[in-house]
Amino acid sequence: MYQIDLAHQRNRCVAKVTLHGGLSKFWSRATKLSVLFFVSTLGFASATVQASVAEDQQALADLDTKYQKAVEQNDAKTMAEILADDFVLVEGDGKRSTKADLVDDAKSGKTHYVRQDDSERTVAVFGDTGVVTAKLRAKGIEDGVKVAYLQWFTDVYVRTPNGWRYVYAQASLSLPSKSRH
């Protein structure tokens, strides 16, 4: 009877080791598959986020171009659609203008541009905030005075439930005509 118990115990130990080894292999495979699935999901999500940022950058570049064209054409309606109600522009000389100031100016026709375009544009997106920086070349009449200048500007946009809105702008003083900056 002692030998049978010993043999039975030995078989039980072997069975436990086999069962445990099988579960270990199963959990190891399941863990590896879970990790692989998780990592591939992150890669997919990352690619989706990157595409979304690229799409946002393009949308902001297009919107900023649309706004510059609206300013050039005194299109007060388009300007009002793009500008946030609490929009503020701070110019290099410290002058501050609101949405109402810019829209009213466009409606009055006191300012008219024959050229209003930008270059060296960069667009950055930080979640629901977009920043556009570029050099603006403008030529026309501002308050009855002929102007032609080149300046840097930074425009800040915020994503709202109704799309991107232009909330803030900072413009430099006019760059010297021989400036390479």
pLDDT for position 9: 53
What CA–CA distance (Å, rounded) separates 18 from 4? 21
What CA–CA distance (Å, rounded) separates 89 from 154? 10
Q: What's this model's pTM, rounded to 2 decimal places?
A: 0.69
pLDDT for position 24: 52
Q: pLDDT of 84-127, one tens digit each?
A: 999 999 999 999 999 999 999 999 988 889 888 889 999 999 99
Residues whose CB is less than 8 angstroms from the CB of residue 53 and which lie 6 or more positions away in sequence, other chains included? 125
pLDDT for position 47: 44
- Helix, strand, coil distribution of the chain in percent, nearest 5: 50, 35, 15
What CA–CA distance (Å, rounded) separates 171 from 181? 14
What is the rounded average pLDDT of the residues 162-178? 92
Query: Under a CB-based contact definition with an 8 Å cutoff, are residues 69 and 116 in contact?
Result: yes
What CA–CA distance (Å, rounded) separates 19 from 66? 69
In order of start, what are the domains of the chain with their CATH numbers?
43-171 (3.10.450.50)
Q: pLDDT of 42-59, one tens digit each?
A: 444 444 445 589 999 999
Write the DSSP string, 84-129: EEEEEEE-TTS-EEEHHHHHHHHHHTS-EEEEEEEEEEEEEEETTE
